[in-house]
Structure 1
Amino acid sequence: MSLRLSTVILPYRRWHDGGRAAWERAEELGFHAAYTYDHLSWRSFRDGPWFGAVPTLTAAAAVTERMRLGTLVASPNFRHPVTLAKELISLDDVSGGRVTLGIGAGGTGFDATALGREPWTPQERADRFAEFVLLLDRLLTEDGTNGVSYAGDYYSAREARNIPGCVQRPRMPFAVAANGPRGLRLAARYGQAWVTTGDPRTNAAGTPEQSRVALRDQVEKLGKACVNVGRDADDVHKILLTGFTPERSRPLESLDAFVDFAGKHQELGFSEIVLHWPIPDSDFAADEAVFEQIALEALAQLG
């Protein structure tokens, strides 16, 4: 399986002061997709500028033509399926059908408390996520005049209409971020792709070798989940968002370092590697010249 190379562009710059240029350059460099985080703010960027994901992606859709666009990832922390579906259908229309919805259960950071409530327990996050994905799938797939009605424990919809529906049929692809059993089952059932940042335990205190063992285990568990729902695991695209495994920024130190990193993870079954666009004085600082060299030359070496 050939490898795809994508990037994630954090929405911390004003559109007319470097924001637009990054998305245009990403397409020029030939990235398969460019994603952005869907947060209200994020970690070390919390006290600085941070813009909304869907408006940013809509603007990016207007200045690009070929590259796929998406969230990595949206979550229930501050989203409701009905309103999010309407925004996504509009974005899919503006982009001409180039949107991938990266979606995850969310965490306990700023997004979890910004609306004035206490963070959900892990159990409630998992329960909400299951309903969230189920209802989004229906909202983005069923575009009839009767709309979608649903009454769950956490989310409801009453004759929610999404005419004319997605440009992509039957709907835009879902890239489900998941590590645990329930999340992997959702990825197997609803996902056209699966996203991981690695195993949290080995990311925090493991070696690169231990990380690859953990990732292989995740891939195998996803495969079993696919079998259980009657799917071929090869039909689920496997995406690795870099920057969190024990290597951290090492893959961006040189072209050779990246080719070595990407090749080892391609052997595990990953078909898409996502690199953070370099941000000076941050966890994602990197030499922009090396980053661009990787974008332009790495895939030819990986085959």
Structure 2
Amino acid sequence: MSLRLSTVILPYLRWHEGGRTAWTRAEDLGFHTAYTYDHLSWRTFRDGPWFGAIPTLTAAATVTERLRLGTLVTSPNFRHPVTLAKELISLDDVSRGRVTLGIGAGGTGFDATALGQEPWTPRERADRLAEFVPLLDRLLTEDSVSYEGDFYSAHEARNIPGCVQRPRLPFAVAATGPRGLKLAAQYGQAWVTTGDPKLYESGTPEESLRALRGQADKLADACAELGRDVDELDKILLTGFTPDRGRPLESLDAFVDFAGRHQELGFTELVVHWPIPESDFAADMKVFERIAMEATAQLG
């Protein structure tokens, strides 16, 4: 399968002061999908402008025609399946079926305490995700859903007419642990990883490749246990969090080399961050655009 190239556009720009331009330019450059982070605030951007993911994606849907759109990723940290399902069905309708939901367990960042709760432990996050994903699947595929769980409930929640995409919009499940990988195998149309976070500061690119290969093997095992062909799932790498950091965006040749090594591992989609000056995602825009337009042709 040929490698697809996508981008993630952080929602830090006012829509009429550069935000809109990034999304329309992403379509012009030929990216497969443009994602955005679904956070209330994030890391070094916490004290600056930051806008909501669903409204941003809805606006992007109205100014693009071919570009797929998605979250990378949403989580139970501040979302409820009932309200999220309604927003996703609406977004899928506005975009005429161009939405992918990236979904994961969330972390311990600012989102984890923004609603006043104590941060959940890794086990608690996994417990919630294990209930969140199946309920969201039902809400997006059934006209009426009632459910009582340990963490979430729904009472005759109506979601008519459902998604434009049938039976529902695709899930891209972010996971590296056994429970998350099982969810990806059971409910996902794609799997998302950022690599092994333990290698980010002091690991090597070779160690990162071995770790990613191990993650992919565990996904294959999870699929096999469910009787599913792992090749049915797209494998998405959100770049920028491996030991390579921003080096692949320094030149077209550097990116093609990076992409080729990950394509050999079975990845079907790489996601690069839209350049943001004076940030961890700073990059030369001219080089970035050349990569967008030329890299996939060189990979075959």
Match of 1:294 in 2: 291
* 3-state SS of paired residue (1:134): helix
Structure 2 unpaired stretches of 5+: none
| Letter paired with 2:283 | A
1:120 maps to 120
After TM superposition, which residue ranges in structure 1, 4 or more long, deviate above 4 angstroms? none
Q: Secondary structure at the match of 2:277?
A: coil
Kindly report the root-mean-square deviation, in angstroms, between the aligned alpha carbons of the 2 structures: 0.5
Per the alignment, in what secondary structure is the counterpart of residue 39 of structure 2? coil
Within the candidate set 214, 217, 241, 1:217 is matched to 214
Report the alpha carbon displacement of residue 117 of structure 1 after superposing the two structures with TM: 1.1
Pairwise CA distance, 1:200: 1.4
State the TM-score, normalizing by the size of structure 2.
0.99
SS class of match (1:221) = helix
**Number of residues of Structure 1 aligned to a counterpart in Structure 2:** 300
Superposed CA deviations along residues 75-95 of structure 1, whole A, max 9, x for unmatched, are 000000000000000000000
2: CA distance, partners of 1:294 / 1:273:
12
Match of 1:78 in 2: 78
Spell out, residue by residue over 1:192-221, the C-alpha distance to the aligned partner (whole angstroms, 9 max, x if none): 000000011122321000000000000010
Deviations 1:29-75 (A, max 9, x none): 00000000000000000000000000000000000000100000000
- 1:142, 1:226 → 2: CA distance? 25
User: Can you list the C-alpha shifts for 1:219-254, whole angstroms capped at 9, x where unaligned?
Assistant: 010001001111100001000000000000000000
Q: What is the letter of the counterpart of residue 57 of structure 2?
A: L
What is the distance in 2 between the residues matched to 1:204 and 1:111? 23
Instruction: Supply the distance in 2 between the matched residues of 1:300 and 1:120 (Cα, whole angstroms).
Output: 44
> After the TM superposition, which residues 154-173 of structure 1 pair with which residues of structure 2 at under 5 Å, given as runs?
154-173=151-170
2:61 matches 1:61: yes
Mapped partners of 1:272, 1:120: distance in 2: 31
| Match of residue 11 from structure 2 | 11
Q: Secondary structure at the match of 1:263?
A: helix
Q: Which residue of 2 aligns with 1:140?
A: 140
Q: How much has 1:122 moved relative to structure 2?
A: 1.0
Secondary structure at 2:201 match in 1: helix
Task: Name the SS of the counterpart of 2:70 in structure 1.
Answer: strand
Instruction: Tell me the distance in 2 between the aligned counterparts of 1:161 and 1:286.
Output: 45
SS at match of 1:204: coil
- Look up the equivalent residue of 1:253 and give its one-letter code: E
The one-letter code matched in structure 2 to 1:214 is: A
> 2:216 matched to 1:258?
no
* 2:50 match: 50
Alpha-carbon distance in structure 2 between the residues aligned to 1:183 and 1:65:
33
Structure 2 equivalent of residue 271 of structure 1 = 268
* TM value normalised by structure 1: 0.98
